[in-house]
Structure 1
């Protein structure tokens, strides 16, 4: 046959098939790339925002004697090159080259006491390989060569050092001073300069925070803080810096370039880090001090894999449903094209055409539409950023092959016998026992799978659990089986009722609906997953949004919260009250208190609960009501509590609470009235309103300002969270569009048969209005039942999947389980389908009215 001529004759059906195939191929090739690209961005962000000392690789070794000392820069550099050569291939591209980024080497002592400080001040010795690039000397001069001095009758090294400018007043030091360090192996230092970091916010200083600021430590059982600072010396100082008699370590920092990490290779990176640690440990042969790799990169990668696995779970479900629906719509379009060819191919078969010729004609015409569309969709997918996965190449090929194969197989089956007339609208074939058994088995297995998924949880092995994909598919098939098997029975009851009424239209319309042809199975199999997955996506998205809001409130405990390490003065509180946007300020005091008269301690907050509750008006969190002490479960059942906090307090137990929003969620804690304190030392402010956070930070410089709005933004702006929400939204819209297309195609597929039936009835006096009502009554029952089943399936999937859909990683670590029945989106989808079906029915009758009765009645007549 002349395929181009057939294509021009049936240009409308070919064009529909072309558009649907193009969109499906674009989805199957583009969505995986976009999804994987989002995973890469999320991994980059996770590594970029983590402290450098956690993400980077640091090789460290302790020097315990003079034989293990490194006395010059060249010894550090040679080892740095050795460590880089030992990097496994998977890690090598991620580590930045020597001398770039935050790559550096260092030597540091720890817990080096300052003579005459009574054990409260420690001045550690340090060397940075790139200090000249990192700091600006603002006082004195950079350190120079070491010398010697006398102390207690002995000659000891005198090392020139500098320290951060802010440490001078904090440690009560002055430039030019000579200080002796150590308890037995003494060394003297001369303070010759003070510096400031050129960029104190760069990740480099995460490795060297001990150099940039004074560390205050409160030892157990003591009341006075210890102060620690690390100084900086020149390269020449390495010659006299020894681990003999002090805690000295050498460090080589190999920074990770976050933007070069690949989410697909995360597991390989974990293995590579373990291998690197093993190899580095073997380099200490013959030494008392082993080399070690200090890094939290495996934990960061493991946490990312857990979050990614959850995202993949949701996206595999919704994207898998989307692609299945897209494939179903393509099959429906192929069926439309095959119906247009039915008369031509039947004549060909009757005139001696072979079955191969008939099937080949349909396959060739289908290929003429789907192959160019598939290639265009595949080409457009390359504009989507992201790595090229195997499915990018394989997916479009499968779509094209499935369309062509279905066309060939369907036409071969339909025309296997020449002039094989069938009247499926007259009687319904009784299903065989084998088919009934298979259908019952599908339903039972689907319910059993959902039960097992809820009870057993996810598979213990890493990666995606296929059970999560099998159960939704089984539930969808089970729902489709139930609908297709059961929907004729209530319709037949309605037919009997309609038969008793004088009008013929309800009887005829419901009769045709009850005797629907087997071709109606395909629209059901398309609409059901389309509605089910779109409702599921909408429910999951709504649950995620509400839980994210709840998590932000639980993190902060108020619209704005200010916490300070010290008491906030009354005049500062008054100024805070006058800040623009502040509507209410609730005072609170937090601290650690003594419970009873023993060693038991608990966290406590003293606050006016009534005022706090008014401040939270409309928030998804609440605080207890009443007076007395509200305690955590670990403290319950003691009746009256003796509390030591500034003074002795005696409070009755008023209730047990599991958490205090914004403050405590575990451990031992107590909530008590603020007026029970003799003199409240307010160190926390709870604020209602929308004040400028920067203004509050300026007014309380020693306080930490938290905002519920900023906390919510931080949760929602996470790359993986944004990806999940965007994917759910896109899939919901796409599935709604496919569902509408499926309704339209189902109308068009049966248009010829329906027009023929209406034409017969018009010869018997059927009016145009009656024809419209009859068409609506014929198509609406199946659409309404499928919409209802899809709605129930989508609402039930979150509960059926249970632990398989754990979105807590994207909701502030709160479990997303409150899937409230928000019927706005499902109702909109169902209404849209009904409206499209009704409009299609009216359009169909309008088109049929313009046709000649003789032309319509001769369509398909072969005798």
Structure 2
């Protein structure tokens, strides 16, 4: 009888306005939660893009033994080298004949070393196999290039053999794959060539790193800075070309500091507050709307329940009847609001311009599995809240008097 009566009353429910408010409130909360989660995940990727390790030392040029010196510091587990040069021109032969393709950034990475540092730093970094497994041998180097460079090389019929200069030495490479971006490059970089350092052929002079990636915990930033400055001084003193002017001091950045800087200050703080306020406020407003839904039908429900109590309905059965009656209304409104709030970010993401808050890294708004658990928990809380509101209201109305006095109660 309890299930039948509760289902029948739910089917005759005519309270619509408060449920619309529930849908809007829960939709707002879900929208804010999904967008905030997408921005947070994108900031993590942005930090890993800038520092794909626990720390990075950036300078002009480091002596080859700087990696060994860093490896002996406390807490350091792995070190790898990176070389970056911008605005290099591509050539069609070893002599240096200009290919008339345009200027391109060059990045040299030790594929296996970068993969180890990323794993030791717990950075989710996918190194292309062409860079990770490359080894010295005859023929051009396998290179990962940007789509724009790949298109230009294919148009000039140089995708199987082209040349690029790195610190005064020209290397032949072939297109082994394309990528829209890569760590240590700017998020908006559209023209780049990435070469595997470990596969470079032997030349009279060897490239020297301009950045060093370190994996370790804990790391002393000041000790890293001192070791980097000493490495630059040794290169300037003992390198192939010695200089008289003192090199600019190195900069040390940790991924944790970069991540914190991306989320703090200015509009970022306002954005975070707005999303938190929207999620919390939407949830609270949704619960209030459910309370109003319950109160809107409290009088008629009180009369029915008082008669059923007279016929022998227990308090436990009354709560069960109330749950059966309210579950369809609460479930439909909460699920509809959550669905609307989860779908809207996917539709509006291209026009929201959220990449301004993630250092240029595109924000990927995706379905959050935790949203399902949050919706189920919110539905349970909403039902419990509705039952509590009904119980308080019935105590105020006094069910026995409702039965005796009817509408005048």
TM bucket (normalised to shorter chain) is 0.7 to 0.9
2:303/2:403 contact within 8 Å kept: yes
User: Separation in 2 of the partners of 1:656 and 1:832?
Assistant: 45
How many Å apart are 1:608 and its aligned residue? 1.8
Q: Quick check: 1:780–1:837 contact (8 Å CA) kept in 2?
A: yes
Structure 1 position 544, deviation (Å): 0.7
Would the alpha carbon gap of residues 659 and 686 (structure 1) be closer, same or farther in structure 2, given more than 3 Å must change? same
Q: What is the aligned counterpart of 1:609 among 104, 111, 120?
A: 111
Would the aligned equivalents of 1:535 and 1:826 in 2 still touch at CA under 8 Å? Answer: no
Q: Alpha carbon RMSD of aligned pairs, Å?
A: 2.8
Larger Rg: 1
Shift in Å, 1:849:
8.4
Structure 1: 5+ residue stretches without partners: 1-503
Report the CA distance between 1:785 and its aligned residue.
0.4
* Correspondence for 2:163: 642
Q: CA deviation at 1:759?
A: 1.4
Match of 1:255 in 2: none
> Hey, what does 1:516 align to over in structure 2?
13
Partner residue of 2:237? none
**Any conservation in 2 of the 1:593–1:604 contact (CA below 8 Å)?**
no
Write the deviation string for residues 269-317 of structure 1: whole angstroms up to 9, x where unpaired: xxxxxxxxxxxxxxxxxxxxxxxxxxxxxxxxxxxxxxxxxxxxxxxxx
Does residue 663 (structure 1) correspond to residue 185 (structure 2)? The answer is yes
TM-score of the aligned structures, taking structure 2 as reference length? 0.78
Return the alpha-carbon distance in structure 2 between the equivalents of residues 785 and 552 of structure 1. 40
Equivalent residue, structure 1, for 2:221: 693
1:554/1:621 contact within 8 Å kept? no
In structure 2, distance between residues paired with 1:854 and 1:537 = 46
Q: CA contact under 8 A between 2:349 and 2:365: conserved in structure 1?
A: no
1:570 maps to what in 2?
64
Q: CA deviation at 1:789?
A: 0.1
Q: Is the 1:616–1:622 contact (alpha carbons within 8 Å) kept by the matching residues of 2?
A: no
CA contact (8 A) 1:780 1:834 kept: no
Distance of aligned partners of 1:743 and 1:632 in 2 relative to their CA distance in 1, 3 Å threshold:
closer
Greater RCO structure (CA 8 Å; 6+ sep): 2
Q: Do the aligned residues in 1 keep the contact of 2:164 with 2:172 (CA within 8 Å)?
A: yes
Task: Tell me the alpha carbon deviations over residues 335-375 of structure 1, each in whole angstroms, 9 at most, x when there is no partner.
Answer: xxxxxxxxxxxxxxxxxxxxxxxxxxxxxxxxxxxxxxxxx
TM-score normalised over the length of structure 1: 0.39
The equivalent position to 1:582 in structure 2, one of 70, 76, 85, is 76
- Asked if 1:629 is matched to 2:143, the reply is yes
Match of 1:820, SS state, is coil
Q: 1:565 to 1:859 in 2, by over 3 A?
A: same
> Is it true that 1:761 corresponds to 2:308 in the alignment?
yes
Contact 1:602 1:670 in 2 (8 A): no
Contact 2:56 2:213 (C-alpha < 8 Å) held by counterparts:
yes
Say if 1:763 and 1:782 are closer, same or farther in 2 by CA, change over 3 A.
same
Task: Please state how far the C-alpha of 1:854 moved relative to its aligned partner.
Answer: 4.7
**CA gap 1:677/1:707 in 2 versus in 1, 3 angstroms:** farther
In 2, are the aligned partners of 1:768 and 1:849 still within 8 Å (CA)? no
Q: CA deviation at 1:505?
A: 1.6
Residue of 76, 88, 97 corresponding to 1:598: 97
Paired residues of 1:623 and 1:660 also in contact (CA < 8 A): no
2:175 is aligned to: 653
- Equivalent residue for 2:368? 822
Correspondence list, 1:226-625, <5 A: 504-517=1-14, 520-566=15-61, 568-591=62-85, 592=88, 595-596=91-92, 597-600=96-99, 602-617=104-119, 618-625=122-129
Instruction: Find the counterpart in structure 1 of residue 238 from structure 2.
Output: none
Q: Which residue does 2:196 correspond to in 1?
A: 672
Q: CA deviation at 1:647?
A: 4.3
Distance in structure 1 (CA, Å) of the matches to 2:54 and 2:312: 71
Matches of 2:226 and 2:199, distance apart in 1: 29
User: Distance in 2 between the 1:793 and 1:512 partners?
Assistant: 27
Asked if 1:794 is matched to 2:357, the reply is no
**1:797, CA displacement in angstroms?**
1.2
For residue 253 of structure 2, the aligned residue among 691, 696, 706 is 706
Q: Secondary structure at the match of 1:526?
A: helix
* Secondary structure at 1:639 match in 2: coil
Distance in 1 (CA, whole Å) between partners of 2:285 and 2:69 is 58
- The answer to whether the 8 Å contact 2:51/2:253 transfers is yes
Assess if the C-alpha contact under 8 Å between 1:771 and 1:845 holds in 2. no
Residues 81 and 213, structure 2, Cα contact 8 Å, conserved in 1: yes
Q: 1:674, 1:680 within 8 Å by CA — same for their partners in 2?
A: no
Residue 839 to residue 703, structure 1, CA distance change in 2 (3 Å)? closer
Q: Cα 1:667–1:760, aligned 2, differ >3 Å: closer, same or farther?
A: same
In structure 2, the CA distance between the partners of 1:616 and 1:853, relative to structure 1 (3 Å rule), is: closer
Q: Deviations over 1:557-608 (max 9, x none)?
A: 4332223223x12343322112223211012333447533213564323322
Alpha-carbon shift at residue 836 of structure 1 (Å): 3.9
Partners of 1:778 and 1:700 in 2: CA distance: 70
| C-alpha separation in 1, matches of 2:396 and 2:194 | 81
Structure 2: tracts of 5 or more residues without a match:
135-141, 230-248
Which of 366, 378, 385 is the matching residue for 1:832? 378
SS in 1 for 2:332: helix
Q: State the distance in 1 between where 2:274 and 2:46 align.
A: 22
**Contact preservation (8 Å) 2:19, 2:289:** no
Alignment length (residue pairs) = 356
Paired with 2:42 and 2:8, the residues of 1 have a C-alpha distance of: 48
- Give CA-to-partner distance per residue, 1:780-821, whole Å, 9 cap, x none: 1100100010010100111233433221111112222x2222
